[in-house]
Amino acid sequence: MKVVFISLDTARVDHFGCYGHPFDTSPNVDKVAGQGVQFQRCYASDVPTPPEYTAIFSGRLGIHTGIFGFEGQGAYHPGPPMLQEILARAGWRTGAISNLFYTCPWLMRGWQDITPPGLRFQGGTAPEVTDEAIRWLKNHGENDLFLFVHYWEPHQPYVKAPENHRKLFPTNSYKRIAPDMRFINTNPIMKTFYEYYHAKGEGDPKMPSEEVLARYDSQIHFADQEVGRLVDYLDQSGLGDEALLIVTSDHGEAFGEYGFIDHYTCYESISHVPLILRLPGKFPAGSSVDGFIYGADLMPTILDLAGVDIPSAIDGESFLPAILEGKSTPRDFIVTDCNALVTQRMMVRNQWALVHTIHPGPQTHIKPYELFDLKGDLESDLSGEHPKKLQEMQAELAGWLAAQLGGGPDPLQQAAQQGGWMLSHPAFIHSMLAHLDLVRGNKLLWETLRRRYGPGLELLGSGGAQEPEWARGMAK
Ligand SMILES: [Zn+2]
């Protein structure tokens, strides 16, 4: 059997044509969706990149692997073997076209071939990734194989797409879908953060959100073209007839909605991801599955399909019966954890999302518990209007957590003591120094930063808006 696993890093689900985007960003992915099974409610269990890929390949949730945000590596417990390791032991050839391993060395286990398309984290372009993937398939196409193809488009700073892709998405056409940015514009720290962040690579600190959206979509279109080239190779070589083709992402993206940019939170726009599976002659073409699944469910599903034993000590469950027999997916709800700019846990059941914010980072408009109607406005907390629903979901989340922890401590609560990794990012340090009085006035934030940086933080003068020399030009 052959499995080609494509991930478009940072691909927000509702920016694909097949998921309802109003612009033609993804003709090739849409075509694959028409030939395969499209999943409507696939969620990352852990945000952002390192914890979710860890969940995908290990089949385990971050609450059990110890990987949160970009931190926790030291706490990672090897646990049962990962997907690629199990397949390699079963005689498969395993290959990864990715430079993810520069920051996630614990994910290197089990790959017989690792080809980084660039010589640094996020290096390389989509055409280079496709070239390497085709080269690897030409060398190993006759074997049972598992190939991980990791594109860094559309990840920020949204500058890799050539001009022929950029001009397809004119900025002025995005005015009608761009967020109004009210939560960014009323928070000076976040406004500075936004301007500093988007200035990198393009030199335009005042970039409006519609320009950001247009650039992001051009990145999706660029990656989609390369997915199309890889799928064409599979189909023309005959590999496509027998290969399970997977197209997904590790998390989505925010463009200013509800006060967030990038992917350092776990609200719906970040944790809901695209997922398409194609297996000609076996999976029903043009079909759709509505039930909840995790990215972490892919591991046991692939093993189930391959007829390889699934480790018992994992959290993921095979959803193969949902594809082949029309049965329900294994989940009634999902829970997503995040420790980045904020520390949060979200539960989604039916149309409702309960978000528990353990640490709000620099955000000032977020309540500890919020309730959103996913069929309504994603910037409106409805916890005040629906107190019974709020209590019901709080109890469900508490019950789920108790079952997961078995009496032990909650690692996300422990991680929140230091705040999220973004609090040490040069862009945040720049923003903090520009508004030091506000930071000092935010008791929780200031205490967290003191824990992270030690008493040396006190040496910063109350009026000192000077960016330290070492921080200049560091944000990428
Ligand atoms: Zn990512």
Let me know whether 344 and 309 are in one domain: no
Rounded mean pLDDT of the chain? 92
The pLDDT of residue 468 is above 80: no
Does a structural domain hold residue 95? Answer: yes
Span from the CA of 34 to the centroid of ligand 1 (angstroms):
26
* Residues 6 or more apart whose Cβ sits within 8 Å of residue 453: none
Average pLDDT over residues 141-146: 92
Whether 403 maps to a domain, the answer reads yes
128 and 248, same domain (yes or no): yes
Pair (404, 447) in one structural domain: no
Last residue of a domain, one of 274, 305, 331: 331
Please give the distance, rounded to the nearest whole angstrom, from the Cα atom of residue 19 to the centre of ligand 1.
Answer: 19
Q: Give residue 205 CA to ligand 1 midpoint distance, Å.
A: 23
Q: What is the pLDDT of residue 319?
A: 98
Total structural domains within the chain: 3
Give me ligand 1 centre to Cα 31, in Å: 24
Could you count the other beta carbons within 10 Å of the beta carbon of residue 469? Answer: 7
CATH number of the domain to which 350 belongs: 3.30.1120
pLDDT digits (tens, 9 = 90+) for 23-59: 999 999 999 999 999 999 999 999 999 999 999 999 9
Does residue 237 surpass a pLDDT of 90? Answer: yes
Q: Do residues 37 and 126 both lie within one domain? A: yes
- Rounded distance from Cα 107 to ligand 1 centre (Å): 14
Q: What pLDDT score was predicted for residue 426?
A: 85
* Cα(333) to centroid(ligand 1), Å: 23
In a domain, residue 224? The reply is yes
Each residue's pLDDT tens digit, 304-347: 999 999 999 999 999 999 999 999 999 999 999 999 999 999 99
Q: Would you say residue 475 has pLDDT above 50? A: no
97 shares its domain with 190: yes
Query: What is the rounded distance in angstroms from the CA atom of residue 397 to the CA atom of residue 344?
Result: 12
245 with 301, same domain?
yes
Residues 346 and 262 in one domain: no
- Whether 120 is covered by a domain: the verdict is yes
Point out which residues pair with 278 in neighbouring strands.
245
Residue 121 — very low, low, confident or very high, per pLDDT cuts 50/70/90?
A: confident
CATH number at residue 149: 3.40.720.10
In this structure, the answer to whether residues 167 and 30 fall within a common structural domain is: yes
For residue 53, the CA-to-ligand 1 centroid distance in Å is 8
Domain-embedded: residue 476? no
Q: How confident is the model at residue 464 (pLDDT cuts 50, 70, 90)?
A: very low
pLDDT at 122 over 90: no
Residue that finishes a domain, picked among 284, 303, 331: 331
Residue 453 is predicted with a pLDDT of: 84
Q: Please report the pLDDT score of residue 73 as a whole number.
A: 55
| Pair 90, 239 in one domain | yes
Cα 336 to middle of ligand 1, angstroms: 15
> What is the model's pLDDT at position 159?
87
Residue 242's domain spans which residues? 2-331
Residue 437 CA, ligand 1 centroid: distance in Å = 33
CB 171 within 8 A of CB 211: yes
Mean pLDDT of 222-227: 98
Task: Quote the pTM value.
Answer: 0.94
Among residues 375, 374, 371, 367, which one has the least CA distance to residue 390? 371
How many A from CA of 465 to the centre of ligand 1?
31
Q: pLDDT tens digits, residue range 282-313?
A: 999 999 999 999 999 999 999 999 999 999 99
- Is the pLDDT reported for residue 201 higher than 70? no
- How high is the pLDDT of residue 460? 67
* Model confidence band, residue 373 (pLDDT cutoffs 50, 70, 90): very high
Strand partners, 243: 2
Q: Where are the beta strands (DSSP E) in 279-362?
A: 287-294, 333-339, 343-349, 352-359
Distance 440 CA to ligand 1 centre (A): 31
Which strands form 243-248's sheet, in the order they lie side by side?
A: 113-115, 93-97, 145-151, 2-8, 243-248, 272-278, 37-43, 287-294
* Residue 9 alpha carbon to ligand 1 centre in Å: 5
CA of 99 to the centre of ligand 1 (A): 12
Give me 199's structure tokens.
């200035």
Rg of the Cα atoms in the chain = 22
Q: By the 8 A CB rule, do 431 and 196 touch?
A: yes
* 403 plus 430 within the same structural domain: no
The verdict on residue 460 lying in a domain is: yes
Question: Is there a contact between 59 and 46 (Cβ–Cβ < 8 Å)?
Answer: no
Is beta strand 333-339 parallel, antiparallel or unpaired with respect to 46-47? parallel
Instruction: Let me know: does 373 contact 382? Beta carbons within 8 Å.
Output: yes
Domain membership flag for residue 293: yes
For residue 340, the CA-to-ligand 1 centroid distance in Å is 12
Q: Which residue has the tokens 């953060």?
A: 193
Is residue 255 domain-resident?
yes
Percentage of the chain lying above the pLDDT 90 cut: 79
Ligand 1: centre distance to CA 211 (Å) = 21
- Do 287 and 374 fall within a single domain? no
Q: Do residue 87 and residue 136 come from a single domain?
A: yes
Among 179-188, 350-359, 415-424, 451-460, which is the least confidently predicted range?
451-460
